Each structure stands twice: as C-alpha cells, then as structure tokens.
Structure 1
C-alpha cells in the first residue's frame, strides 16, 4: 500500500511539473506571437489553467515531503502525549477540511460539466476541463492527509520539524 500511495503522490507531482512546462510554453508562445505580430487567442487563460493545475497537483507531494509551512509555536513546546494529541487533532482538522475541499472541487467540476459552463474569455474553454485538475489535486491531498493521520495514529509518522531549511 505504501508503494501505491507514494506512486500516487509522485505521479501527481510529475503531472504538476508537466503543467509548469505548459505555463512556460504558453508564456513563450505569447511572447513569440507578439514579436512576430500574430495573435494566439487564449494563451493567458491556458497559462492560468496550467498554473492552477500545477499548484493543486503539487499539494500532496509537498505535504508528504514536509515542505508545507507549519506553525509550530505551540507544538514545539509540547512533549509526549500532549504533543501527539495536538498532532492528531490538527491532522483530524486537516482531513476534514481537505475532504470538504475535495468534495466541493469535484462537485464544481461535475456541475460545470452538467451545465456546460464555458470560460468568459475568447477561447470559450469548457470550465470542467481545468477544474478537473483542481478536483484531482484536492482529492490526492485528502488521501495524503488521511495517510498522515493513520501514520500518526500508528506512531509511524516522521516529523522533520527540527530540520528546518535555512536560506542565506
């Protein structure tokens, strides 16, 4: 199961990287088209869709690599059962919020598909297409938070809170 979950997180991260390449391509296409005096409609919109896709798809991988920003002001002062209780409470809240975020993201994409919503820009993209990446990203984040919650419950979760990265 661990290999499957890690593959899911890594797959979402690779997809996020591809979307970042998509952002780059849209920006380059926009620049080149202006320099050569032709217009490609929708490049700004597609760059935005790709950026949103990259951001949402990278969430779970970032969480699992301990790269999310955590406020450990109180947590750093606690030890033993109190620290574990606060971790479980925090992860429970995160599971709930991520679950709600995933549910409503999936629902939004589904409703956009049902109602044939299209973007207001001149490209008239069906909105469910870019919204799918938000739905997938939030669903994978929800799974990652459940994973973290279960690991904490079993006492197998590794926190690198003392290994903060310092940039000079």
Structure 2
C-alpha cells in the first residue's frame, strides 16, 4: 500500500512541478509585458492560488518521500524497536493533524459554495475553484497519512521493525546525514 501511494504521489509531484513551472512562466511573461506597457493581468492572484494549491498537495508528496521534518535527537540513540515506536508516534501525530485540518477545511469551502463567493479582484475568480483544489490537496494528504499509518500499524503488528523503518523511518538520506554529523563531531574531539 505504501509503495502504491509513493508511486501515485510521484506522479502528483510531477504535475505539481509542471504547474509551478507554468505559474513561473506566467508571472515572468506578465512582468516582461508590464515593461512594454501591457499586462496579462491577474498574475499575482493566480500565483497566490497556485501556491496554496501546491502547498496542500505537496504535503502528501513530502509524506511519500519521507521529507517531513523530524527532530531526531532522541531517535538516533535508540534501538530499531525504539526508533519504530517514535516513528509510529510521529506518523500517528501527522495523520491526526492531516485529518483535523482536512476536516476543518471543508467548512471554508462549504461556505464559499453556499454563498457563491468570488474574489474581490478584477478577475472575480469564483473562489470555489482555488479553494476546492486546496481542500482536495488537504483531503488527499489526510487519506495518504491515514493509509500510511494503517499500513505501518500492520507492519508493527508483525514486529517487522526493519520493514517498518523502511516504510516510515527517516529514509536513507536522513540516516546518512546523521552518520555524517556523528563523524564530524567525532573528528572535532
């Protein structure tokens, strides 16, 4: 399940990268055109919407890539089982927050839909469009986090600690960074 979520989120990450590149190109084109006395208009508004949408969807991509920040001061000195317990606690906390924010994001979108709200800008963007994409990103993050936690709990129930670390641990880059930091500290002594 975790590998499938990672594969889907790699595709999502690719789409997010393309959207970001298109947003950058649009802003650059608008800035250049302003120098010539013309403007595409709305680049500030559209780029703001893009950043909100990219951020909410990017959370699930970061989860799949194990790129969320962790404080590993305690974790680094523990056994494999001890690290697994902290990884499970971190995953449970992340899933809880993701579900809570997605749950609380729905009323924002719901009121916008109910009122037919539009942006108070020259574009008069129907706000359900950017808010719907933003909410969908939070919902996807909540689903990914909950499914990842479920898979991790199933792995933990089998007491397969190395597999659990591969599934929700820091990842090889994080472990390598910690090992490098330890070597530097040892060299200083």
TM-score, length of structure 2 as denominator length: 0.76
Q: Could you say which structure has the higher helix fraction? A: 2
Q: Does 1:162 align with 2:175?
A: yes
Deviations 1:24-74 (A, max 9, x none): 132122212212211333111001111222222222112111222211112
Please list, as runs of the form range in 1=range in 2, the aligned pairs for 1:128-167 lying within 5 A after superposition. Answer: 128-153=128-153, 154-155=155-156, 156-157=163-164, 158=166, 159=169, 160=171, 161-164=174-177
Instruction: Mark the CA change 1:133 to 1:55 in structure 2 (over 3 Å): closer, same or farther.
Output: same
Higher alpha-carbon Rg = 2
For residue 97 of structure 1, what is the aligned residue in structure 2? Answer: 97
> 1:80: Cα distance to partner?
4.4
The whole-number CA distance in structure 1 between the counterparts of 2:7 and 2:39 is 40
The whole-number CA distance in structure 2 between the counterparts of 1:81 and 1:126 is 50
Q: Does 1:50 align with 2:50?
A: yes
Instruction: Mark the CA change 1:15 to 1:103 in structure 2 (over 3 Å): closer, same or farther.
Output: farther
Q: Which runs of 4+ in 1 moved over 4 A?
A: 1-4
Instruction: Mark the CA change 1:77 to 1:88 in structure 2 (over 3 Å): closer, same or farther.
Output: same
> 1:98: Cα distance to partner?
0.3
Unaligned runs of 5+ in 1: none
The root-mean-square deviation of aligned C-alpha atoms, in Å, is 2.3
Q: State how many pairs are aligned.
A: 166
For residue 186 of structure 2, what is the aligned residue in structure 1? Answer: none
- Secondary structure of the equivalent of 1:120? coil
For residue 25 of structure 2, what is the aligned residue in structure 1? Answer: 25
